[in-house]
Structure 1
């Protein structure tokens, strides 16, 4: 599905209108940049500076990570480009392979915009959890209390269950009516606050709180709850509670199909066909709080350091956020995952990180940080990978993600 794989591992792929055939311009670029991100984070040490470490062992590890990224962009049906931002304290490195744009052949850059896909759910979760800290919301608030106009069958679902994917809400992106509407006019700007209408006549999939099942409907309801208790548009709440405190100058939630420039172009592949540029093929309003956010790798890295590190929350709310339930085996992140509140725990061969993943036509994303928020990584590729359609490439991507996580824990 768009924004995240569903419980069956299928991607949502709207029948997008074909674009003109693209021709690869020049050879794939691969390189390593050492340089600063743009925005300050909440920690005193979060503003990165170039990592000047030149020890031979570091060079060897850098080379291995570059080669791992290059391995992703090598296959014919693989992503044209990949970029990773890795940060320890104030030291940041940017690794990249391939191209951000097949037409120009330029490499991806950490200040290029991208669709962050389901990582958008971490942003809406951050808004809701901060409102919990402010006494505007409670984790046990129900849909019936805050959103009584939604179907009565959903009224016992709590904010906690929405944030942890244990609500049982039917997923609007799986509905034929939604998929037909997107296919009919992908770029149409719709009323995002009516997205749940696509499943309003459906019951819950299971008793709330009884099991885990990812649903894109949940974070639509989260954003609507935030609006209901504040009287403010969700977009404004994002600016007040997330963008401004973290200095995120290149993060936005657009309504239409256009992306801020410069941007990493996202591509879709069909057997025997040239790659299709789907970067601006659909309106972000179709996915809103569940998958519509656009950010740069630099901004995404800064946000995840704060979100995964609990910098924006009280200790009490943070404790609730990190009560875990078993997640899904199809989650395209490294290692084994468990679900917290708008946050996942990834247990890898090298250590535990907190973060989020996302896939959407044109992009696959992973961003995570150590629980203290002092070490972080964001890995992005510019095509959608899925268990059903690209299992080998997805497995390779997971390995690369884990390699970068391991680099966070490596002694320097």
Structure 2
């Protein structure tokens, strides 16, 4: 889900260039979205669209876990969510939904005429000085890498998910990076280095999520002073956050997403670390749900 920070940065750069407006309806760019004439790009980026999350659709979960190495395309995954009615009126409340970010990825492609992977590389990754960060086309995974383990399987048994295809997450969670790149990315993201001051201020205008201590802006979270995002998909979890008051960066990469007493392992580790190094700013937790994020 840290991919969301890259996708939304690419979108906000288009805002700075005057090519899109945050309050444009998604209908202006992508047809067929339920209630698309009333859902804006801002609603999508701040997780307040009301679109049903495709990852919560039982058929999607079954299809993914039955053949986790199969490819998915953006229109295919969106169709799982479109089977369900919208969950609330646009802007009414917060609901984490990968459907929102897949749509924003399609907006970036429509406006630029380029593949999202190329836009992110040219406009975000390279200017940020990142060398080992990219959005894969399929299941490619540069060596060396850790093996990832998950209990998100049809039987609930632990499985090795290292070679599962992340294409189902695409603009919402498909990117690959490493520790040093994420360490560099955290302050770039939190300080708005790649955006205008006005647009960064819009990004950091956070709203309540219902998760204690954690609010959400435009593809970014704020948790007890820390700014950034967490991520989770079968086999792996990450946290990449920056604390402006201390100029401190925290990056965690774990090779399991199996819950511990109902909590994500990355949240537990981040809390443990920050309770020692920044006791006045203890990481409260991310906002990714247990279904695929």
TM-score (norm 2): 0.87
Question: Please, which of 143, 151, 162 is the counterpart of residue 33 of structure 2?
Answer: 151
1:397 to 256, 260, 269: 269
User: How far apart are 1:375 and its partner, in Å?
Assistant: 2.8
Q: Which residue of 2 aligns with 1:258?
A: 140
User: What SS does structure 2 have at the residue aligned with 1:258?
Assistant: coil
Contact residue 170 and residue 204 of structure 1 kept, 8 A: yes
Question: Residues 392, 368 of structure 1: CA spacing in aligned structure 2 closer, same or farther, 3 A cutoff?
Answer: closer
The alpha-carbon deviation at position 391 of structure 1 amounts to: 3.5
Question: Are the structure 2 counterparts of residues 316 and 244 from structure 1 closer, same or farther at C-alpha, using a change threshold of 3 Å?
Answer: same
Could you tell me which residue of structure 1 aligns to residue 284 of structure 2?
none
Q: Report the 3-state secondary structure (helix = DSSP H, G, I; strand = E; otherwise coil) of the residue aligned with 1:368.
A: strand
2:54 matches 1:165: no
Quickly say closer, same or farther: Cα 1:151–1:276, change in 2 above 3 A: closer
Q: 2 CA distance for matches of 1:238 and 1:376?
A: 22
8 Å Cα contact 1:154-1:204 kept in structure 2: no
Instruction: Give the match for residue 120 of structure 1.
Output: 3
Q: Does 1:364 align with 2:237?
A: yes
- 2:146 is paired with a residue of what secondary structure? coil
What is the aligned partner in structure 2 of residue 141 from structure 1?
Answer: 24
Q: What are the superposed Cα offsets for residues 297-334 of structure 1, whole Å, 9 maximum, x if unpaired?
A: 111121121111111110110111111101242xxxxx
- For residue 399 of structure 1, report the CA deviation from its aligned partner: 2.1
* 1:373–1:299 CA distance, 2 compared to 1 (3 A): farther
Cα separation, partners in 2 of 1:262 and 1:405, compared to 1, 3 Å: same
| Alpha-carbon distance change, 187 to 404 in structure 1, aligned in 2, over 3 angstroms | farther
Instruction: Name the structure 1 match of 2:179.
Output: 297
Q: CA deviation at 1:344?
A: 0.6
Q: Is 1:201 aligned with 2:74?
A: no
Is residue 252–residue 270 contact of structure 2 (8 Å, CA) maintained in 1?
no
Two-structure CA RMSD over aligned residues (Å): 2.5
Residue 308 in structure 1 maps to residue 190 in structure 2: yes
Q: Specify which of 71, 79, 84 is matched with residue 189 of structure 1.
A: 71
3-state SS in 2 of match to 1:364? strand
What is the CA–CA distance in structure 2 between the aligned matches of 1:341 and 1:210, rounded to whole Å?
16
- The one of 208, 227, 231 equivalent to 1:354 is 227
| CA shift digits 1:332-358 (9 cap, x unpaired) | xxx7111111111111xxxx1211111
Does residue 251 of structure 2 align to residue 378 of structure 1?
Answer: yes
User: Equivalents in 1 of 2:170, 2:29: separation in Å?
Assistant: 19
Residues 227-279 of structure 1: CA deviation (Å, up to 9, x unaligned): 11111111111111111101211111113223111112211259xx9953211
- Could you tell me how far apart the structure 2 residues matched to 1:217 and 1:208 are? 14
- In 2: Cα distance, 1:392 partner to 1:185 partner: 24
Deviations 1:142-163 (A, max 9, x none): 111111x223423311111111
Contact 2:203 2:219 in 1 (8 A): yes
Q: After TM superposition, give the deviation of residue 401 of structure 1 in Å.
A: 4.5
Task: Verify the 8 A CA contact 2:239 2:252 in the aligned structure 1.
Answer: yes
* Inter-CA distance 202–153: structure 2 relative to 1 (3 Å threshold): farther
TM-score, normalising length: structure 1 = 0.63
Tell me, in whole angstroms, the C-alpha distance in 2 between the residues paired with 1:142 and 1:320.
17
> Alignment length, in residue pairs?
278
Quote the Cα distance in structure 2 between the aligned partners of 1:382 and 1:408.
28
Aligned to 1:227: 109
Q: Which residue number corresponds to residue 344 of structure 1? A: 221
Q: 2:246 and 2:132 mapped to 1: Cα distance?
A: 20
**In structure 2, C-alpha distance between the alignment counterparts of 1:394 and 1:246, rounded to whole Å:** 25
Give distance in 2, aligned partners of 1:241 and 1:376.
23
C-alpha deviation, 1:135, in angstroms = 0.9
Question: Which digits, 9 at most, give the CA deviation of each residue in 1:9-38, with x for residues without a partner?
Answer: xxxxxxxxxxxxxxxxxxxxxxxxxxxxxx
